[in-house]
Amino acid sequence: NLELLIDFGSPGLIEVGGWKNISKRLAETHKCLVVERSSPNNVYNLEKRYLEVLGDQVEYCHTLEGMLEVMPKGVSKFKTIQKLAEMLRINMDEIMTFGDGNNDIEMLAGAGLGITPENGSELAKANANLTVASSDENGPAVFLDRLLNELHLE
């Protein structure tokens, strides 16, 4: 199931394999990504089980269908950006974020300008301020290039 993620260029992935191996690796893990693309309902059933056992001790997010992220409570892209902005004394209204998945929703909605590509998830697009061309067409890069060129001219 990792082929999809490897195609997206996700670095640092460590395949755990069978469920019996997970408990041995938890101490070195900052995020658990469950990938079951062939039977997505298994992921929803697993999330229900996690909720029964772990409740709200962790954060859950469905990145794509058949993909569930499980992270420590309070860990998210948005909270990380908030912390960095606080450290640098930057107002969240001055921050631009790019995201394309459901795990980006909080970040897109919380920044001054949240941008998603046309091929982003429907929830990402609904929470973004702006939709640019598809990432297959380098939409975010083209947007930034045009923006920086316009700023340079002024």
DSSP per-residue string spanning 69-85: EEEETT--HHHHHHHHH
All residue ranges of the chain with pLDDT < 50 are none
User: Residue 142 has what pLDDT?
Assistant: 95
Helices (H), 89-138: 105-110, 122-127
User: Residue 9 has what pLDDT?
Assistant: 57
How open is the CA angle 47-53-59, to the nearest 5 degrees? 55
Residue linked to tokens 């079951």: 36
Through-space distance between the first and last CA atoms of the chain, rounded to whole angstroms: 48
The pTM assigned to this predicted structure is 0.70
Distance CA 107, CA 66 (A): 22
User: Residue 8 has what pLDDT?
Assistant: 60
The two three-digit tokens of residue 80, written as one number:
């990380």
Q: Which residues make Cβ contacts (< 8 Å) with residue 31, sequence separation at least 6?
A: 69, 70, 71, 75
Q: Which residues make Cβ contacts (< 8 Å) with residue 79, sequence separation at least 6?
A: none
